[in-house]
Structure 1
Amino acid sequence: MEQRVTRQQFNDYLVPVYAPAEFIPVRGEGSCLWDQTGKDYIDFAGGIAVNALGHRHPEVLRALTEQADKVWHLGNGYTNEPVLRLAKQLVDATFADKIFFCNSGAEANEAALKLARLVGHSKKPNEKNEIIAFKNAFHGRTLFTVTAGGQPKYSQDFAPLPPAITHLPFNDLQAVAEHISARTCAVIVEPVQGEGGVVPANPEFLAGLRELCSQHDAVLIFDEVQTGVGRTGDLYAYQTYGVVPDILTSAKALGGGFPIGAMLTVDSLASHFQPGTHGTTYGGNPLATAVAGKVVEIINTPEVLGGVALRHQWFIERLNQINHQFHVFSEIRGLGLLLGAEMSERYAGQAKHLTQLAAEEGLIALIAGTNVLRFAPSLIIPQEDIEEGLNRLERAVARLCA
């Protein structure tokens, strides 16, 4: 007899690094989820920008099951057909010449930062090693990436931290211009700060970073873990901005729910990594790359990418209508289907409470810090699901404001 699973078992058996909701989703279809009781939810969270094609997309599911019937894992002493197909897809669609596959965004950023340090070391050993990052950034949870992230609450308790990482104000090009030097080996930036509040970079800021990095022979890294694979309406946000980095990191939506990460770069940098320099056991495995190949194939089309802008407009118009009535948000911002609604002064710090009320109404949403409600739904979410989800949000907002 199968054991009944309860939410209490999380408290009993799992290391408490999360505080999950009291309900347990057990089934998904498209942009909807159902919990153990059969209650339905509209999913505006997308597994934190992961489920770019919703739940159980039939073509992605078919790609997974077909590959599962062939070979799952080989190890890095061998290559495989799905990884080679996916690598070519990404090279053909982007600035990149070479791809390194791993399992997560943190691993992709770890590889990018290690490569940047290695490149700097090859030019000026023990001198060209400074990494410029930005306040309120988020790049992962490994010791290196959590240090590069500009949120001390995530890193300060794990000191001593990796040195030579400088944090400057986001969107402040002058601060970077005054600081960057021959010691700088890399600048790492999110085109849209996700965890930092869904704050898009100014176009002139990214263009200026590109110019400064070229002037100072530093590597420009775009962390596109959250913005990548269609989220902004282009395959990658660097294409939205028209600014080309030297290294780009990708994960989340790349696998459509199956764990995979990737570092994209150019030949002149990729050649610094040689056998034994860096690696991963599971990275580039046939299951993950078969799924990701189908995800990229579906998303990298005019129909899907063009539909992101239309859905963005549907969200913005209705969120503004809700806000006009309740004045709960001070700003609604974002690019494509990565959206943030900052709580107004009266409701400061209540974003989490609002998501809890929304869940009671049957809507799953995210937060970005304590003060921003965040949405990262499926890129192909139907209009009727957007409308129903925002109806449920409106009821939650009315309860918050009552």
Structure 2
Amino acid sequence: MSQAESLNIRVAAAPPSATFRMMDRVAARLVSGKEVLDLSSGESDFDTPEHVREAAYRAMQAGATRYTQVAGMQSLREAVAEKFKRENGLATDWQQVIVSNGGKQVIFNALAATINDGDEVIIPAPYWVSYPGIVQLAGGAPVEVACTEESGFKLTAPQLEAAITQKTRWLLLNSPNNPSGAVYTAQELRGLAAVLARFPRVMVLSDDIYEHLTYRNGAFATLASVSPELAERVLTVNGVSKSYAMTGWRIGYGSGPRWLINAMVKLQGQQTSGACTISQHAALTALTGPQDFVSKTREVFRLRRDRLVEVVNAVPGLSCSEPDGAFYIFANCKKVLGTTSVDGAILRTDEDIATALLEDAGLATVHGSAFGAPGFLRIGFSYSDETLTRAAAMLRSFFEQLTVG
């Protein structure tokens, strides 16, 4: 039996994460002694707030190093439920909350607990790279719906209605969106909700992980709050990774109908037995302690966004719109497809461009095809001013040296 035949067919068919693949390439270059400037990862350059780190230390000193409930500590689940009530207007309680090892496990649990072979999951593109793979691993069929730059990279009500079939089980909705930074307004969500009201079998996963990284005035809108009549069909996912610079702590959480949460807890009990106890104590302090870190870092990211948008739009062959949320620029690079790099490589695809940027210029980005949107590059701006200054010079130098033909 070959190695391929030894694998589960779903694992064999699922694509690896493009962002983590790029991180591996960056690490390999660094080990080999080559310089690289990494704008490919989805995390803040800020340290986790000191009071949160101190809470983890105190928890360890107090002996909080044993198992918790599979669904998470009750105190943390209560804090999550209170956060959803206070900030999002969701009518929930702690028994409708699950805490997992990052938002990714919350999503995986939900889909694995509900999808049967052949069920379809609508995924607006561009999308977070892991969505299609998770759907495939759960036995479902990803249905990608292209959302154009002209539409602000947002799914429209007519597009949603056209994509729904008798096999549709879920809609995955990510706002603010990774990679485009698109943020759905309350009115846009109501338009989608009006369509969903006619299809009671369709569940909605609202991935709000970048909620606090929004740059326009006005309250953040999430589907279960905007359309409470759909609340029993919505799983709202969030976490502490982006808002509190806690990516490595691996704490995500979700709230939804109790039958769904119970099924997800059952699944989690057979996977990981729950999230790290020490990280849960840190997350509890993040959610219930001072929140000035969130507003401070958001303003820093806003300034960095403005700066990088200006830089990208001044680079020959690149253009971008201003993202309303998250911390990425989604740059259109279609004008330079077919050109030749200074090392003689023909750049036929956006992946070719990202590869040449890394190999020739030492600058790491992620190609748009990985997000279901060919012809773009995702360039992060969650980095220091010094890093962005160096990146701007690298971008200009690389693209100015491209030749046609």
Aligned residue runs from structure 1 range 22-41, under 5 A:
23-24=27-28, 35=30
The match for 2:330 among 335, 340, 347 is 340
Whether the aligned pair in 2 keeps the contact of 1:133 and 1:165 (CA below 8 Å) is yes
2-side partners of 1:189 and 1:274: how far apart? 22
Secondary structure in structure 2 of the residue aligned to 1:253:
coil
Name the residue aligned to 1:309: 302
Secondary structure in structure 1 of the residue aligned to 2:44:
coil
Whether the aligned pair in 1 keeps the contact of 2:107 and 2:237 (CA below 8 Å) is yes
Question: Could you tell me which amino acid in structure 1 is paired with residue 44 of structure 2?
Answer: A
Does residue 228 in structure 1 map to residue 210 in structure 2?
A: yes
Give deviations 1:266-317, integer Å, cap 9, x for gaps: 4xx1255438644243533222223444655657643333443333212211
Name the residue aligned to 1:133: 122
Say what the alpha-carbon RMSD is for the aligned residues. 4.5
Give unpaired runs (5+ residues) of structure 2. 1-14, 148-154, 338-347
The match for 1:54 among 43, 46, 49 is 46
Secondary structure in structure 2 of the residue aligned to 1:21:
helix
Post-superposition offset of 1:360: 5.9
Post-superposition offset of 1:210: 1.9
Aligned residue runs from structure 1 range 3-402, under 5 A:
18=21, 20-21=24-25, 23-24=27-28, 35=30, 42-45=37-40, 47=41, 49=42, 51-54=43-46, 61-69=53-61, 70-76=63-69, 80=73, 83-84=76-77, 87=80, 90-91=83-84, 92-96=86-90, 97=92, 98-113=96-111, 131-134=120-123, 136=125, 138=127, 146=133, 148=135, 155=136, 162=139, 167-170=144-147, 171-178=155-162, 180=164, 186-191=170-175, 194=178, 198=180, 200=182, 203=185, 205-217=188-200, 218-224=202-208, 228-233=210-215, 239=221, 243=226, 246-250=234-238, 253=242, 256-266=246-256, 269-274=257-262, 277-280=266-269, 281-293=272-284, 301-322=294-315, 326=316, 328-332=317-321, 334-336=323-325, 337-347=327-337, 349-354=349-354, 356-357=356-357, 361=361, 363-369=363-369, 371-378=375-382, 381-400=383-402
2-side partners of 1:342 and 1:230: how far apart? 26
Give deviations 1:220-252, integer Å, cap 9, x for gaps: 32234xx52534348x99538995673222355
2-side partners of 1:362 and 1:67: how far apart? 41
User: For the structure 1 residues 166 and 341, does the alpha-carbon distance in structure 2 shift closer, same or farther, using more than 3 Å as the test?
Assistant: closer
Secondary structure in structure 1 of the residue aligned to 2:323:
strand
2-side partners of 1:386 and 1:82: how far apart? 40
Whether the aligned pair in 2 keeps the contact of 1:339 and 1:375 (CA below 8 Å) is yes
Secondary structure in structure 1 of the residue aligned to 2:388:
helix
2-side partners of 1:53 and 1:76: how far apart? 32
Q: 389-398 or 249-258: which moved more? A: 249-258
Post-superposition offset of 1:374: 0.9
2-side partners of 1:282 and 1:377: how far apart? 35
2-side partners of 1:385 and 1:134: how far apart? 33
Post-superposition offset of 1:393: 2.6
Whether the aligned pair in 2 keeps the contact of 1:132 and 1:166 (CA below 8 Å) is yes
Secondary structure in structure 2 of the residue aligned to 1:188:
strand
Post-superposition offset of 1:382: 4.2
Give deviations 1:58-105, integer Å, cap 9, x for gaps: 555545444444433415369648735752563343344242111244
Post-superposition offset of 1:343: 0.9
User: For the structure 1 residues 371 and 272, does the alpha-carbon distance in structure 2 shift closer, same or farther, using more than 3 Å as the test?
Assistant: closer
Question: Could you tell me which amino acid in structure 2 is paired with residue 395 of structure 1?
Answer: S
Q: How many residues align?
A: 341
Give deviations 1:143-192, integer Å, cap 9, x for gaps: xx6364xxxxxx5xx8xx73576554542421433564788654222235
Which has more helix, going by share of residues? 2
2-side partners of 1:314 and 1:240: how far apart? 28
Q: 99-108 or 59-68: which moved more? A: 59-68
Question: Could you tell me which amino acid in structure 2 is paired with residue 173 of structure 1?
Answer: A
User: For the structure 1 residues 310 and 243, does the alpha-carbon distance in structure 2 shift closer, same or farther, using more than 3 Å as the test?
Assistant: farther
Post-superposition offset of 1:208: 1.6
User: For the structure 1 residues 375 and 231, does the alpha-carbon distance in structure 2 shift closer, same or farther, using more than 3 Å as the test?
Assistant: farther
User: For the structure 1 residues 365 and 274, does the alpha-carbon distance in structure 2 shift closer, same or farther, using more than 3 Å as the test?
Assistant: closer
User: For the structure 1 residues 140 and 67, does the alpha-carbon distance in structure 2 shift closer, same or farther, using more than 3 Å as the test?
Assistant: farther
Secondary structure in structure 1 of the residue aligned to 2:221:
helix
User: For the structure 1 residues 359 and 105, does the alpha-carbon distance in structure 2 shift closer, same or farther, using more than 3 Å as the test?
Assistant: farther
Give unpaired runs (5+ residues) of structure 1. 1-15, 26-34, 119-128, 149-154
Whether the aligned pair in 2 keeps the contact of 1:83 and 1:286 (CA below 8 Å) is no
Whether the aligned pair in 1 keeps the contact of 2:176 and 2:214 (CA below 8 Å) is no
User: For the structure 1 residues 104 and 219, does the alpha-carbon distance in structure 2 shift closer, same or farther, using more than 3 Å as the test?
Assistant: same
The normalised TM-score by structure 2 is 0.64
The normalised TM-score by structure 1 is 0.65
Secondary structure in structure 1 of the residue aligned to 2:242:
helix
Give deviations 1:45-69, integer Å, cap 9, x for gaps: 3x3x2x2253576555545444444
